[in-house]
Amino acid sequence: MKRRRQILAVSILFGLLVCIGDAVVDFLFFYKGVFPSFLITDMLHHEFYMLSLVIICFLLFGVVLSNILAKRERDELKDKQIAHDLRERVKELNCFYELDNILKEEGKSIDELLTKIVNFIPASLQYPEITGANITFANKKYKTKNYKDTKWMIRKDILVNNLKEGSVEVCYLKETTESDRDPFLKEEHNLIGAIAYRLRRYIEKRRKDELLKNSEERLRILFEHAPDAIYLSDMKGVLIDGNKAAEEMTGYKKEELIGKDFLRLKLLSPDQMPKASASLAKSFIGNPTGPDEFVLRRKDDTQCTVEIMTFPIKIKDKKIVMGIARDITKQKKAEEVLRESESRYRVLFESGSEGILIADIKTKKLIFANPAICKMLGYTEKELKKIGVEGLHPRENLQRVLSEFEAQARGEKSLAEDIPCLRKDGTMLYADINSAKCLIEGRECNIGFFRDVTKKKQEREVEASLYKISQATNLSENLRDLFSSIHSIIMELMPTKNFFIALLDSSGESLAFPYFFDEYEKPLPPRKNGRGLTEYVIRTKKSILVTFKEFEELKKRGEVEFIGDKAWQEWLGVPLIIKGDTHLCLNSSSHGHRAQKG
């Protein structure tokens, strides 16, 4: 714009000079007056117009010339800008070329690559001599020697799998323009962003490659060192690969197997071929097979039993079959031994004379019960499994029973003595329980061996009671005290809340009751010897335990008669025989509502 004004001013000046020159010539050669008068008053009008036209022509010439020069200047500036932009694009292309070459280098660490990359970045910008660069990655910085944080910077993040793991930064060390606008070109922003993006793609790919390589290495290690034999074959049964376990199982080296049809290697007997062919056919249509049992013939003609599973897979778009074979020869032998052992123990369990119960320690549920314990308690095995340990014992003794059970489970003791058990009919059984701990189907269990000691316990209790009675005989001051002691001792053996002693006199005509205790009735007075139950016991010299229904049968036969209230449930009478004669009878009864005093 300044140059254009200068050209216009010069054009006007030349026009004025031409006009003045023409006026001077006319004055000198054609006019006789003074020059100012000539310019102001005596110049002809057409001369004035002509001079004005000359000035305008010079002005127009100046305008055209300035436009031409301005256009030429703009074209030069444009050419310079294009040349500049081309140089910058060449720099960028060189940058990408160098970046790609560095990223293609194999065997280099990330540290080495980033150090190289950061050093050629400044050369890609407008002012490389005042440019510094820095790459931050994995908490490490890779920077040029002149890099420092300034107010003229570009920063682009490196996002790996959408997570920020670093950045690419470029700085100008001093101001490049007088204005406050961004000193970096838009293309430079894009360049740094592209470098960050390419680093991201490279790091992601490198990590994937490392994972894949590690995965392949791990798979190869697993394949080679797997305890089971693994083989690969094509859909025709031709072996492609196999691991060490496959070599050990067959006795063949891998090189002897690869490329050969396993159906023709005589690894299987002829009668197993149809089964093997059917398995291969299933794999061909994409279905896994097995586990199927086969007997393999090794290279040394020995045999082993194997379990084979096959899976159709794809490797590099090629369909193949992966087979996994497990040697179960020892397992089969162990299973046979186990079956024989189970059969023996089953016989012992089923035919044992002692009752056996197996209970889950944690849940207290019964798992198994042998016939002996079922007979002993009157339950079926199914019923015992439903009631469990806690339902097998009286509620009042449950705390003690569970304490013994836990002690046996902890191994603190093996024998629990005199454990009360409820039969199905409600009667009590006492058992000594020997216990052992075992593991059944993954559950810790107690095995209990029950020995019925009810009779032995009763015998011990009777012996103890007889001993107490003999002591009471020596210690009691009178018969009333003796009879009361006898009643208390008998109550320890059985429920005898209603109890009396009947005494027949020497003549046999009168019956007295020296001791009488009843929850409803007053003491009975003496009576004549009649046909009551007490007289029946004395007469027959036999102990009896009768229900009211059985009493009715005796009555029908004329053996007894009603004496007193008949609303009783059970009646017990025991004779005391001295020198062949019965003169004393001990009696007890349980009421329906009131007791029979027979």
> Could you list the pLDDT tens digit for every one of the 598 residues in the chain?
566 666 667 666 766 676 666 666 665 655 555 555 555 555 544 455 666 666 677 677 767 777 777 777 776 777 676 666 666 666 776 777 788 888 888 788 888 888 888 888 888 888 888 899 999 998 899 999 999 888 888 999 988 888 888 999 999 988 876 556 788 888 888 888 888 888 888 888 888 888 888 877 887 887 788 888 888 888 888 888 888 888 888 888 888 888 888 767 788 888 888 888 888 888 888 889 888 989 988 888 898 999 999 898 888 778 888 889 998 888 888 878 777 766 666 766 677 678 889 999 999 999 889 888 899 899 998 999 898 898 999 999 999 999 999 998 888 888 999 999 999 988 889 999 998 888 888 889 998 999 998 888 888 877 877 788 788 777 877 877 888 888 887 787 777 778 888 888 877 888 888 888 887 777 878 888 888 888 888 888 888 888 888 888 888 888 888 776 556 778 888 887 776 666 667 777 776 544 333 4
Q: Three-state SS for 311?
A: strand
Give the residue among 414, 406, 487 at the shortest CA–CA distance from 448.
414
- Are 242 and 258 contacting, i.e. CB atoms less than 8 angstroms apart? yes
Element (H, E) at 581: strand 581-591
Integer Cα distance of 305 and 308 in angstroms: 10
128: DSSP letter: G
Integer Cα distance of 426 and 429 in angstroms: 10
Integer Cα distance of 195 and 186 in angstroms: 14
**Cβ atoms within 10 Å of 82's Cβ, excluding its own:** 10
Q: Three-state SS for 33?
A: coil
Q: What's the pTM?
A: 0.41
- Are 224 and 243 contacting, i.e. CB atoms less than 8 angstroms apart? yes
**Cβ atoms within 10 Å of 266's Cβ, excluding its own:** 11
All residues at 6 or more sequence positions from 112 whose CB lies less than 8 Å from its CB, including other chains: none
b/e per residue 218-234 (b: at least 16 CB within 10 A): eeeeebeeeebbbbbbe
Q: What token pair was written down for 412?
A: 């603190």
Q: What token pair was written down for 540?
A: 């027959």
DSSP 468-501: HHHHHHHH-SSHHHHHHHHHHHHHHHS--SEEEE
Integer Cα distance of 43 and 58 in angstroms: 21
Q: Three-state SS for 31?
A: coil
- Are 310 and 290 contacting, i.e. CB atoms less than 8 angstroms apart? yes
CA atoms within 13 A on the CB side of 5: 2
**Cβ atoms within 10 Å of 53's Cβ, excluding its own:** 12
